[in-house]
Amino acid sequence: MQRRMRRDRRPPPQGKVDSESEGDASPQEATLYDNFSRCANCFRCCVVAVRTASAVVFAADSKLTTEAFVGLDTNGDPQFLPQTYDNAVKLGHDRNKSFMVAVTGNASVGERSVIDFVSQTASPRTVIDDVTQDQYLRGVIVGMGSLRFNYWTALTVPADRWPLTAFLLATTSPSASRPRVWRVAFVEDRCEISEILDQPWIYLEGTYAEAFSLLYSFRPEFLEQLRIELAIPEPTMIAALDIPKVAALKPIHRINVAAMPIQDAMDLAYFLANVQIEMERFLPGAPYCGGPVDLMVLQGVPQRDILEFAGKSLKHPRQPL
C-alpha cells in the first residue's frame, strides 16, 4: 500500500487513499545495489526483522538519535540540533497486542513518540478479514500523520525540513494467521506505506552495513569501487550478482527462514543487530547504533500473541551493573 498525504496545508484526509502493495521474496535485494548507500545509513539505528512461516521477530538497538528544533537563524531557516539517548525503546505494541512496531527513523510524531502513540491504541477485538484490518491500521497511521502534520505546520517549518519518521509494523492476517509486515515512512508532508516480507525473509532497516555484508557477502560501496577500477559496466555487474550460481553462495539464500523455530529466529535477529553494534564500536567514527538489544515476537500459531524480551530494564542510577 502507498498513501500520500495532501500537499495543501490541511490535516491528511480520513477518507479514500491510494494504495499499492509490494511483494517480493527479497525486497531489499532488488534495488540494493543502487540504493544501499542511501538506505544503509539513513537512520541512526539498527532494526532487524525476521519473518518465518508463522511469526515475525523484531530486534532493535537502544541508541536513539533525534533532532530537536531550536529556532530560526537570521535568514529565517529552521535550525536543528542532534540529541542522543542510550536507553531508547524502539519496539512497542498496542493495548490488545494485535500489532507491533519497530521505530527506524525519527521517533516522534509531533510532541509524542511513535511508541507512546501505539501503546495507547486499543484495536478492535473482532477483525474479520484483511480489508477491515487494513482500514483500521490506516486509521492508526493517519492519526500519527495528523499529529506530525499539525505540529510542524504550527511551527511554520517548510515540509522539506521536517524530520523523517519511519517504522515497521507487523500483525497477523485475521483470516489465515499469516504474518503481515509494512514499512511506514512520513516523508515531508506525505506518508508512504509499503507492504513487505510477504514471504519468509530477513529485512534490515536503519544502519545495517555490517549485518548486510554478512548476509550478502559483499559491501556495495566496495563492489562499486571495484567495478570502477576494473571498468566493468554497471548493468554487467548487477547482472553478475543475479546469476543463480553466484546468488546461491550468499548466506541470505542459504538460511531456511521459513522453517526456523521462533527461538532460532530470535537468536538470528539478535546476532545480526549485535554484529552491527559491535563493528561500529571498533570502526572509526561515532557509532550510530548501541546499547542493549530488545526483541519482540509476533506469533500466529498456536495462538496469536506478542511476546516482549527487553534487553534492559529500569534501575536506580546508583545500582551496580
pLDDT in tens, 173-201: 987 888 999 999 999 999 999 999 999 99
CA 281 from chain centre, in angstroms, equals 22
99 located within any domain: yes
pLDDT of the residue at 125: 67
224 located within any domain: no
User: What does pTM read for this prediction?
Assistant: 0.81
CA 226 from chain centre, in angstroms, equals 30
* CATH number of the domain residue 261 falls in: 3.60.20.10
201 located within any domain: yes
Residue 106: C-alpha distances to residues 64, 67, 79, 153, 276 (Å): 9, 8, 16, 17, 19
pLDDT of the residue at 71: 87
89 located within any domain: yes
- How many structural domains does the chain have? 1
Q: What is the pLDDT of residues 88-113, one digit of tens each?
A: 899 999 998 999 999 987 778 888 88
Please calculate the CA angle 181-183-185 and round it to the nearest 5 degrees: 155
Closest C-alpha among 152, 169, 18, 33 to residue 101: 169
Domain that holds residue 47: 42-211+257-309
25 located within any domain: no
Average pLDDT, the chain: 83
3-state helix, strand, coil in the chain (%, to 5): 30, 25, 40
80 located within any domain: yes
Cell triple for residue 201? 525473509
97 located within any domain: yes
Q: Are 4 and 190 in contact (CB under 8 A)?
A: yes
Question: Residue 222: which H helix or E strand, with range?
Answer: helix 220-230
CA 222 from chain centre, in angstroms, equals 25
136 located within any domain: yes
